[in-house]
Amino acid sequence: MSDIYPVDPDFAAHARIDRAAYARDYQASVRDPDAFWAQAAQRLDWFRAPTRVRDVSFALEDFRIRWFDDGELNASVNCLDRQLATRGDKTALLWEADDPGTAPKHVSYRELHARVCRLGNALRALGVEKGDRVTIYLPMIVEAAVAMLACARIGAVHSVVFGGFAPNSIADRVSDCASKLIITADEGLRGGRKVPLKANVDAALKLPGTDTVETVLVVRHTDATVDMQMPRDRWYDAVVDPQPAECEPERMNAEDPLFILYTSGSTGKPKGVLHTTGGYLLYASYTHEAVFDLREDDVYWCTADVGWVTGHSYIVYGPLANGATSLMFEGVPNYPDFSRFWQVIDRHKVTIFYTAPTAIRALMREGEGPVKATSRASLRLLGSVGEPINPEAWRWYYEVVGDSRCPIVDTWWQTETGGILISPLPGAIDLKPGSATLPFYGVQPALVDANGQLLEGATEGNLVITDSWPGQMRTVYGDHQRFIDTYFKAYPGMYFTGDGCRRDEDGYYWITGRVDDVINVSGHRIGTAEVESALVSHPKVAEAAVVGFPHDIKGQGIYAYVTLVAGEAESDALLKELVAHVRKEIGPIASPDFLQWAPGLPKTRSGKIMRRILRKIAENAPDQLGDTSTLADPSVVDSLVKHRHGA
Ligand code: WTA
């Protein structure tokens, strides 16, 4: 029996959606999706209203996903222009700096509109046209949102690259989509430390495949001296400030691309997940309003970085399309101290707070003191995203952070899904700590076994979604076959999420984590293959195998097994060098937590590495290794167990 936290009647009394409404509208949404989504599409402003709703087939021989495909709109108009009549002076973005001594900025819808228009004009003047790709490599500053919306305004496709990625990762992402222009800053600032963004771009642009980049726009943020290579590099303010504050928006078809966002998968290089305009914006805004029970006077804060999908959908597009006040935080939870999140909440009277379990666990470790030193009386709703939240962290979040007063929405979704698919609606669905609960309107989850058999009732299996929703990704940029192969081949006719999941007797979904070779480190997806290829790119490494293991704070950590080239000696210095090498190749988020020398790796007779065994060794569960008799050389396992890190 799991705990139940029933819907709070006071909350429900004022909520947008109550139990009856959810039950009724969910039924309607799956019974007649065309009617449901046609109605929902009216929440957007269209230049030309769609007459067609959906044209979808997940069948391999006849594959297509199209929504509202005769509609025309512009995402930036929906996020900005249409707010001006009633919300021109309302704060659209509330910026809180890394350093609490730096004054926060309140950017009104009117001001944001003007800034987006100026940049839109500047991009056009620099030759960026509809359909061109623009890479955005910025810290958490207002210009990041301005840049995304300016691309949307002129129909350019943005590709935001997380500021923690290293030059190689930037170069891969620039070359994959042949970006014409990069928007970056002199430096970023996080937890008092400087991040050399411009220098990273310079290094990336020296790598092969990046010569499509004609211009680098550089925002002055820390005022650091950076190398400017004329005529390629241009100061953002010099180019943008003189531009007019009106910019004709491009008329976009609903199925025209809005953005590409690279994410890790089981194999190979990160995939460019492509989202289109109409369905994505509709889905991001609708879920944002419903799941967060949005009200006009809310101060809404999502702590994600705009470099991840959560920042796209729930800092920028969803909230702004809803005319909300969205807080953007440049810093980190523990700077200058472990009270920072709660201080920011008090400072800006934040009412809705949305963060990741890894942050909760890290803060929980510091005890209640840093939380209780603040009031948090403004809070009315809490959210969680990015990885499963363990019930202990859930209860601490609920009781200590929310003073047992605020519902928690545990929102399950993915870069690929564009928006939240499974989550409580706080006025409608009883909560169970650790469960993402029930599907959003139109979403049809199901569980299948390894053979693709649909499973009924309370059970566990692989999570699939059996029909399309408007926010679904449309393709892998430049590789449509990879899109189909990755998501629709394992279980024909269904979208495979890559997650394992349990369904309980109340029909609630409990995500158990990835079942593929993706590691979820602090809510960031990292492909084992990426880390392995970074390791083997070191001249002294012959072979590497990487697996995830349970980590108290990060959810999962990275455990690497490395076989050296014959003749190379194992040493602590080399171990450190290899960890540093991965940071340099991919970025700090991919640093292995542990690295173990492996004179041999457990392989089948056909040469396939048995990761299952390596996972068990990393987890320190040598009694659960299972059958090792199919290994080419079973003795390597004993040696690995004996020399396990910390053994
Ligand atoms: C995991 C982040 C459990 C899951 C929005 C998924 C979660 C992957 C939850 C996607 C949650 C995300 N409970 N697991 N509430 N939210 N995940 O693409 O494994 O960065 O497949 O999107 O994170 O990560 P992504």
Does residue 133 have a pLDDT over 90?
yes
pLDDT at 627: 84
List strand residue ranges (DSSP E) for 127-201, in order.
133-137, 157-160, 181-185, 188-190, 193-195
Look up the pTM and report it: 0.96
Please report, in angstroms and rounded to a whole number, the separation of the first and last CA atoms in the chain.
Answer: 37
Question: Is the CB of 448 within 6 Å of ligand 1?
Answer: no
pLDDT (average), residues 32-58? 98
Mean pLDDT (whole number) for 492-506: 97
173 known member of a binding site: no
Average per-residue pLDDT in the chain? 96
Measured at the alpha carbon of residue 122, what is the angle toward residues 118 and 126, in degrees to the nearest 5?
170
Q: Is the pLDDT of residue 75 over 80?
A: yes
What pLDDT score does 281 carry? 99
> Per the structure block, which two tokens stand in for 137?
């490599």
Q: Model confidence at 121, in pLDDT bands (50, 70, 90)?
A: very high
Which amino acid does the sequence have at 490?
A
Q: What separation in Å is there between the alpha carbon of 550 and the centre of ligand 1?
A: 16
Among 347, 363, 433, residue whose Cα is nearest residue 401: 363
Over residues 189-203, the pLDDT tens digits come to: 999 999 999 999 999
CA–CA distance, 645 with 595 (Å, rounded to integer): 8
Over residues 494-517, mean pLDDT:
96
Separation between Cα atoms, residue 21 and residue 201, nearest integer Å: 50
- Is 396 within any annotated ligand binding site? no
pLDDT of 314-362, one tens digit each?
999 999 999 999 999 999 999 999 999 999 999 999 999 999 999 999 9
Phi, psi of 413 (to 5 degrees): -170, -175
137 C-beta closer than 6 A to ligand 1: no
Higher pLDDT, 621 or 2: 621
Non-local (6+) Cβ contacts of 246 within 8 A are 117
> Does any ligand 1 atom lie closer than 6 A to the CB of residue 310?
yes
Give the separation between CA 412 and CA 364, rounded to whole angstroms.
Answer: 22
Q: How many Å lie between the centroid of ligand 1 and the Cα of residue 356?
A: 10
For ligand 1, whether the C-beta of 462 sits within 6 Å is no
Report how far apart, in Å, the C-alpha atoms of 73 and of each of 65, 168, 321 are.
Answer: 19, 36, 13
> Cα(263)–Cα(274) distance, rounded to whole angstroms?
11
Give the lowest-confidence range in 176-185, 374-383, 463-472, 518-527: 518-527
Residue 511 Cα: closest atom of ligand 1: 3
Distance CA 483, CA 503 (A): 27
Nearest atom of ligand 1 to the alpha carbon of 308:
20
* Three-class secondary structure of residue 371 per DSSP: helix
Q: Is 293 in the pocket of ligand 1 (CB under 6 A)?
A: no
The answer to whether the annotation marks 415 as part of a ligand binding site is yes
606 CA to centre of ligand 1 in angstroms: 33
Query: Confidence class of residue 608 from pLDDT cuts 50, 70 and 90?
Result: confident
Confidence band, pLDDT 50/70/90 cuts, at residue 127: very high
Spatial CA neighbour of 590 closest among 511, 550, 532, 513: 532
Confidence of residue 647 (pLDDT cuts 50, 70, 90): low
Q: What is the pLDDT of residue 2?
A: 66
Q: Is the per-residue pLDDT at 279 higher than 60?
A: yes
* Mean pLDDT within 389-404: 97
CA-nearest residue, atom 4 of ligand 1:
387
Report CA(616)–ligand 1 centroid distance (Å): 23
Residue 523: which region, alpha, beta or left (left: phi > 0; alpha: psi -120 to 50)?
left
- For 632, the token pair is 């080419």
412 C-alpha vs ligand 1 centroid, how far in Å? 6
Where helices occur in 210-297 by DSSP H, the ranges are 236-240, 278-291
- Residue 498 Cα: closest atom of ligand 1: 21
Percent of the chain with pLDDT over 70: 100
Ligand-binding annotation for 378, yes or no, is: no
Looking at the CA of residue 525, tell me the nearest atom of ligand 1. 20
Q: Does the structure show a pLDDT above 60 at 1?
A: no
pLDDT digits (tens, 9 = 90+) for 544-574: 999 999 999 999 999 999 999 999 999 999 9
Interstrand relation of 188-190 and 215-219 (parallel, antiparallel or unpaired): unpaired
